Amino acid sequence: MEFCPKCGAIMFPDKKKFKCKCGHEKKITKELSDKYKVSEKIESKESVIFTGEDVKTLPTTKTECPKCGNKEAFWWMQQTRRADEAETRFLRCTKCKYTWREYD
Protein backbone atom coordinates (compact mmCIF):
# COMPACT_ATOMS: atom_id res chain seq x y z
CA MET A 1 0.00 0.00 0.00
CA GLU A 2 1.12 3.50 -0.74
CA PHE A 3 0.13 6.19 1.75
CA CYS A 4 -0.35 9.83 0.87
CA PRO A 5 2.43 12.00 2.35
CA LYS A 6 -0.01 14.93 2.48
CA CYS A 7 -2.99 13.47 4.41
CA GLY A 8 -1.97 9.89 5.31
CA ALA A 9 -4.80 8.16 3.40
CA ILE A 10 -4.27 5.11 1.21
CA MET A 11 -3.47 6.01 -2.40
CA PHE A 12 -4.92 3.88 -5.21
CA PRO A 13 -3.43 3.29 -8.66
CA ASP A 14 -5.16 5.09 -11.52
CA LYS A 15 -3.53 4.71 -14.94
CA LYS A 16 0.11 5.78 -14.44
CA LYS A 17 -0.32 7.49 -11.05
CA PHE A 18 -1.23 6.76 -7.46
CA LYS A 19 -4.09 9.11 -6.61
CA CYS A 20 -5.35 10.23 -3.22
CA LYS A 21 -8.80 11.54 -2.32
CA CYS A 22 -7.13 14.81 -1.20
CA GLY A 23 -5.87 15.39 -4.74
CA HIS A 24 -2.23 14.43 -4.22
CA GLU A 25 -0.77 12.34 -7.05
CA LYS A 26 2.42 10.30 -7.34
CA LYS A 27 3.77 8.92 -10.61
CA ILE A 28 4.05 5.13 -10.67
CA THR A 29 7.68 4.40 -11.46
CA LYS A 30 9.02 0.96 -12.42
CA GLU A 31 10.36 0.65 -8.86
CA LEU A 32 6.92 1.35 -7.33
CA SER A 33 5.22 -0.90 -9.89
CA ASP A 34 7.52 -3.78 -8.98
CA LYS A 35 7.19 -3.10 -5.24
CA TYR A 36 3.37 -3.04 -5.25
CA LYS A 37 2.68 -5.25 -8.26
CA VAL A 38 0.53 -2.51 -9.77
CA SER A 39 -1.72 -3.84 -12.48
CA GLU A 40 -4.85 -2.59 -14.19
CA LYS A 41 -5.88 -6.21 -14.84
CA ILE A 42 -7.95 -8.11 -12.28
CA GLU A 43 -8.19 -11.88 -12.36
CA SER A 44 -11.72 -13.29 -12.28
CA LYS A 45 -11.02 -15.00 -8.95
CA GLU A 46 -10.09 -11.68 -7.30
CA SER A 47 -12.64 -9.44 -5.65
CA VAL A 48 -12.15 -5.71 -5.50
CA ILE A 49 -14.61 -3.70 -3.45
CA PHE A 50 -14.59 0.08 -3.31
CA THR A 51 -17.00 1.83 -1.00
CA GLY A 52 -17.78 5.47 -0.52
CA GLU A 53 -16.31 7.24 2.45
CA ASP A 54 -19.78 7.75 3.88
CA VAL A 55 -19.95 4.03 4.77
CA LYS A 56 -18.81 3.79 8.40
CA THR A 57 -18.33 0.05 8.98
CA LEU A 58 -15.06 0.05 10.95
CA PRO A 59 -15.03 -0.04 14.75
CA THR A 60 -14.06 3.14 16.59
CA THR A 61 -11.90 3.83 19.61
CA LYS A 62 -11.15 6.79 21.83
CA THR A 63 -7.72 8.14 20.92
CA GLU A 64 -6.31 11.52 19.99
CA CYS A 65 -5.62 12.33 16.36
CA PRO A 66 -2.04 13.62 16.05
CA LYS A 67 -3.10 16.00 13.26
CA CYS A 68 -6.33 17.68 14.46
CA GLY A 69 -6.73 16.58 18.11
CA ASN A 70 -10.09 14.85 17.55
CA LYS A 71 -10.74 12.21 20.24
CA GLU A 72 -12.18 9.37 18.10
CA ALA A 73 -10.76 7.18 15.30
CA PHE A 74 -11.72 4.19 13.23
CA TRP A 75 -9.27 1.28 13.63
CA TRP A 76 -8.27 -1.98 11.95
CA MET A 77 -5.44 -4.49 12.21
CA GLN A 78 -3.29 -5.76 9.36
CA GLN A 79 -0.35 -8.14 9.15
CA THR A 80 2.39 -5.98 7.61
CA ARG A 81 5.48 -7.79 8.87
CA ARG A 82 6.49 -11.42 9.29
CA ALA A 83 3.87 -13.85 10.55
CA ASP A 84 5.67 -14.31 13.88
CA GLU A 85 5.43 -10.57 14.64
CA ALA A 86 2.44 -8.64 15.93
CA GLU A 87 -0.06 -7.08 13.54
CA THR A 88 0.06 -3.36 12.84
CA ARG A 89 -2.85 -1.30 14.15
CA PHE A 90 -4.09 1.40 11.75
CA LEU A 91 -6.18 4.33 12.94
CA ARG A 92 -8.11 6.91 10.88
CA CYS A 93 -9.50 10.06 12.44
CA THR A 94 -13.29 10.25 12.22
CA LYS A 95 -13.06 14.01 11.67
CA CYS A 96 -10.11 14.85 9.36
CA LYS A 97 -9.54 11.30 7.94
CA TYR A 98 -5.80 11.37 8.79
CA THR A 99 -4.45 7.80 8.96
CA TRP A 100 -1.59 6.66 11.19
CA ARG A 101 -0.11 3.40 12.49
CA GLU A 102 0.63 1.98 15.92
CA TYR A 103 2.96 -0.92 16.56
CA ASP A 104 3.08 -3.23 19.58
Say if strands 88-93 and 99-102 run parallel, antiparallel, or are unpaired: antiparallel
Write down the pLDDT at residue 33: 61
Let me know if 104 is a catalytic residue. Answer: no
The active-site residue, picked from 84, 87, 102, 104, is 84
- The parent domain of residue 88 ranges over 60-102
pLDDT tens-digit map of 49-65 = 555 555 567 889 999 99
> In total, how many domains does the chain have?
2
Q: What are phi and psi of 3, to 5 degrees?
A: -105, 145
Examine residue 54 and state whether it is found in any structural domain, yes or no: no
Annotated catalytic residue 84: yes
Band the pLDDT of 84: cuts 50, 70, 90: confident
Does 29 reside within a domain? yes
The reply to whether 72 falls in a domain is yes
53 part of a folded domain:
no
**Whole-prediction pTM:** 0.47
Instruction: Report if residue 84 sits inside a domain.
Output: yes
Residues with Cβ < 8 Å from 67, sequence gap 6 or more?
Answer: 8, 93, 96, 98
Report the CATH number at residue 94. 2.20.25.10
On whether residue 91 sits in a domain, the answer given is yes
Structure confidence at residue 95 (pLDDT): 92
Active-site residue, selected from the candidate residues 72, 85, 87, 102? 85
User: Rounded to an integer, what is the distance from CA 72 to the centroid of its chain?
Assistant: 18
